[in-house]
Amino acid sequence: MPVINDAVKSNLPVVRPATFKQSIPAILIGVAAAFGGFLYGYDTGTISGILAMEHFRKTFGVFWDVNIPSNFDLTNPKPGYDLSTGKQSLVTSILSLGTFAGSLMGAPISDAVGRRPGIWIALVIFSIGVAMQTASTAVPLFAGGRVVAGLGVGIVSTIVPMYQSETAPRWIRGAVVSAYQWAITIGLLIAAIVNKGTANRSDTGCYRIPIAIQLVFGAILGLLFFLIPESPRWLVKRQRRDEACQVLARMYSTTPDDEVVQAEAFLIENNLQIELSVSTDSYMDCFKTHRNYLSRTLTGIFLQAWQQLTGINFIFYYGTTFFQSAIPSADPFVFTIISNIVNVFSTVPGMWAMDKVGRRPLLFYGALWMTVCEYIVAIVGTTQGTGNKAAGRSLVAFVCLYIAAFASTWGPGAWVVCGEIFPLAIRAKALSLCVASNWLWNFAIGYATPYLVHKGHGYAGLGTKVFFIWGSTCLIASLFAFFTIYETAGLSLEEVDEMYASIGPLQSTAANAEITQRRNVLEAEAVQQEVERTDMKAGDLKLETV
């Protein structure tokens, strides 16, 4: 029995599909845009290593010894220079305050001036923040620089996944948008390597070099967005159809009058008109019940929240310190690099599986996989302690398995789903709310974790028991994925829109298969018709020659 209605069927494409060879420019455009994730990852990754650098602690912290009162909230268990827990939490998490505000700014900026100029504005702001951090020798300026840089990163993190979703071919959109998460993991890895290279410097270069390098990365992203075109969907929204067709033609290696280009432009226009008929161009549109807008918005907001509540940024913010306590005799910077290598390489199969396996299975089973790993870390750490060498190795091993689970499922999955579930009329605004949710929880976890983990007056002193919390949230996240996430792999953004407006998530897998089967039949018919037209033209030409 069919599970999709006529509204969904009516929007299916009926022309020949673009071939892989024709789609290569569109794929490269999306991959180039993914470099924005590198900024996010590198900026996140630098702070983990910098906090463990001796000269950074000496410059920004205070010296303490055994005579300091026990209620003085320092985190280092032995005498020496260190930051108080309050300063450590501030320096780590304050970036997320900037990114929270920046993600909300990304919507009006990108809707007003375009996706490309929006990135350039973000990079100017980001560069100012990086310069402030590089010049600092005290916490106030350093923290202020992280807030300003965060504004830029927040804008980028809203615009890039949206731009990728709007330009990627439907059959590989999951992999293209996942490349954003892959770029984040590469940024984290490069940050760990750079930190390792400067960690033993006895001057301010130990932290200034890793931070200042971001100016180069920002310039590269700016150049890439100079070379790639504007989003065709944004151009249609601004009533610039001819320019949109030129961009689509560039993306599919053809001409603006090609039927593939014209059909996609018509489909974008048609769906936009449906959405604009009830849109007020306000954030309140995101919370209307019309066409399940409210449900979509809440899905995106909670999806990003659960991604953070998996606890992944506990590792990437405080991983160096964690590995130091798990295996005290080993170099924690080496383990940080290893964990980031696991993160990078585990994202690759996730990019493939996002389109081949589907969104729902990856998010559901990925959350269960993380649950098992985190409960094991919590149990081993609680029963054996971190001083036991064998236990320490087990902790590191299962943390790496947990990272692999996140990297191949929830890491890319949250960005892919949020990038594709919103209609064009509210996409920028709704996605900005989702990204803001990500950064809000990022801030909360970054700030609260030292107080949850460390021992002392006023602290929870959970240590590895904190993984009981992350494991439980992952279990809840698996239920969230099962009951709220639609299967959208392989569908165009317009088909995704119609699916959300017509059916529920538990029906979506069957509906997806039905839509795909019907489209394949129509496309095969369109290809056959084109072959017949070509043969007829060839026959007519032959007759004329005779």
Lowest mean per-residue pLDDT among 58-67, 102-111, 242-251, 377-386: 58-67
pLDDT band of residue 542 (cuts 50, 70, 90) is: low
- Is 63 in a helix, a strand, or coil? strand
3-class SS letters over 237-303: HCCCHHHHHHHHHHHCCCCCCCHHHHHHHHHHHHHHHHHHCCCCCCHHHHHCCHHHHHHHHHHHHHH
**Arithmetic mean of pLDDT, 509-531:** 83
Lowest mean per-residue pLDDT among 14-23, 311-320, 454-463: 14-23
Q: Look at residue 528 in the predicted model and tell me its pLDDT.
A: 77
Lowest mean per-residue pLDDT among 213-222, 312-321, 333-342, 350-359: 312-321
pLDDT band of residue 521 (cuts 50, 70, 90) is: confident
User: What domains sit in the chain, N to C, each tagged with a CATH number?
Assistant: 14-232+285-538 (1.20.1250.20)
Cα–Cα dist 338/401, whole Å: 12
Residue 274, judged by CB atoms within 10 A of its CB (0-12, 13-18, 19+), counts as: buried
Higher pLDDT, 198 or 532: 198
- Most confident listed range (10-19, 171-180, 315-324): 171-180
**Arithmetic mean of pLDDT, 439-457:** 82
Digit-coded pLDDT (tens) for 420-445: 999 888 999 999 999 999 999 988 88
- Plot region of 435 (φ>0 → left; ψ -120 to 50 → alpha; else → beta): alpha
Q: What is the mean pLDDT of the chain?
A: 85
First to last CA, the chain: 55
Q: Look at residue 320 in the predicted model and tell me its pLDDT.
A: 67
Higher pLDDT, 31 or 532: 31
Note if the pTM is more than 0.75. yes
Q: Look at residue 444 in the predicted model and tell me its pLDDT.
A: 87
Cα–Cα dist 118/160, whole Å: 10
pLDDT band of residue 199 (cuts 50, 70, 90) is: confident
Asked if 136 and 84 touch (Cβ cutoff 8 Å), the reply is no
